[in-house]
């Protein structure tokens, strides 16, 4: 995995959602950290889903069902 | 001394748990009468234990919210923030908080009126107040 943070992309996405909100310096790095942790949680949950179904590959339905759970858990 | 204090604290939590259990049992009784379903004793005990643990989480969260706003007093806004994750719960809490705010406003006005009459202004003022009080009564009825 490449180690660079897409800082301008993170800033752009956030300003798209909330144009009037301003960000202090380096907050985007923490946002990126949160994104990485979210992806990690999603991956683990999806893998457990796939294993529970005795499927060797992760399919879209596994991701969908786990995304529902993980998104709910990661609400602030 | 420390051991005695520890025992005292233990009995405090036990007393709190017992009070929580009693309230949960009362609420469960209401629900069982409403839905015509019986709760087993273990279920009620489990619900009261869950409530107790959840209270710890709530207390920590509320403390953090108040500290984030640089306050040491928890207010209604913090409680609303606590309920933000569920839309229906947030709506319910907001309605209740508005109700409470209205009630406290009315109480304040009543207190103001009372303190004003106690000071003993002119007779005409008092008469006016009597009229107002009567109209309030008619509104209540």
Closest CA relative to residue B79, chosen from B92, B64, B93: B93
User: Average pLDDT, whole number, for chain B?
Assistant: 81
Across B55-69, average pLDDT: 94
Q: What is the pLDDT of residue B122?
A: 47
CA distances from B55 to B31, B97, B128, B139 (A): 21, 19, 49, 40
Give the distance from CA B21 to its chain's centroid. Answer: 18
Query: Considering just the CA atoms, what is the radius of gyration of chain A in Å?
Result: 15
| Residue listed under structure tokens 């990661």 | A74
* pTM (2 d.p.): 0.69
> Residue A1's pLDDT band (boundaries 50, 70, 90)?
low
Q: What burial class does residue B107 get, using C-beta atoms within 10 Å of its C-beta: 0-12 exposed, 13-18 middle, 19+ buried?
A: exposed
Q: What is the pLDDT of residues B4-57, one digit of tens each?
A: 666 666 788 899 999 999 999 999 999 999 999 899 999 999 999 999 999 999
Q: What is the pLDDT of residue B2?
A: 60
Q: What is the pLDDT of residue B111?
A: 84
Whole-angstrom distance, CA of residue A14 vs CA of residue A29: 12
Statement: residue B134 has pLDDT above 80? no
Tokens of B73: 């007093």
Across B72-81, average pLDDT: 92
Residues 6+ apart with CB under 8 A from B79: B62, B93, B97
Whole-angstrom distance, CA of residue B99 vs CA of residue B37: 32
- End-to-end CA distance of chain B: give it in Å, rounded: 60
Q: What is the pLDDT of residue A69?
A: 92
Across B58-71, average pLDDT: 94
Rounded to 5 degrees, φ, ψ at A26 are 70, 5
Whole-angstrom distance, CA of residue A10 vs CA of residue A21: 14
Whole-angstrom distance, CA of residue B119 vs CA of residue A36: 67
The percentage of residues in chain A with a pLDDT greater than 90, rounded to a whole number, is: 66
Residue A23 DSSP code? -
8 Å CB contact between B93 and B83:
yes
Q: How many CB atoms lie within 10 A of CB B127?
A: 10
């Amino acid at each position: 995995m490449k180690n660079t943070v897409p800082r301008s992309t993170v800033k752009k996405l956030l300003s798209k959602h909330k144009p009037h909100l301003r960000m202090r310096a380096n907050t985007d790095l923490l946002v990126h950290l949160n994104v990485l942790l979210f992806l990690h949680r999603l991956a683990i949950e999806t893998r457990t889903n796939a294993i529970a179904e005795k499927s060797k590959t992760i399919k879209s339905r596994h991701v969908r069902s786990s995304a529902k759970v993980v998104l709910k858990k990661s609400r602030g | 001394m420390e051991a005695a204090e520890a025992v005292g604290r233990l009995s405090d939590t036990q007393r709190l748990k017992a009070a929580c259990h009693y309230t949960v049992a009362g609420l469960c009784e209401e629900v069982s009468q409403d839905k015509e379903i019986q709760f087993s004793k273990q279920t009620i005990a489990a619900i009261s234990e869950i409530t107790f643990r959840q209270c710890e989480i709530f207390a920590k969260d509320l403390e953090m919210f108040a500290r984030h706003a640089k306050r040491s007093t928890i207010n209604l806004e913090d409680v609303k923030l606590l309920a933000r994750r569920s839309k229906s719960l947030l709506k319910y809490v907001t309605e209740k908080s508005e109700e409470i705010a209205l009630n406290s406003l009315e109480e304040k006005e009543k207190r103001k009126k009372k303190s004003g009459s106690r000071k003993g202004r002119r007779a005409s003022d008092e008469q006016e107040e009597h009229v107002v009080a009567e109209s309030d009564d008619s509104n209540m009825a």
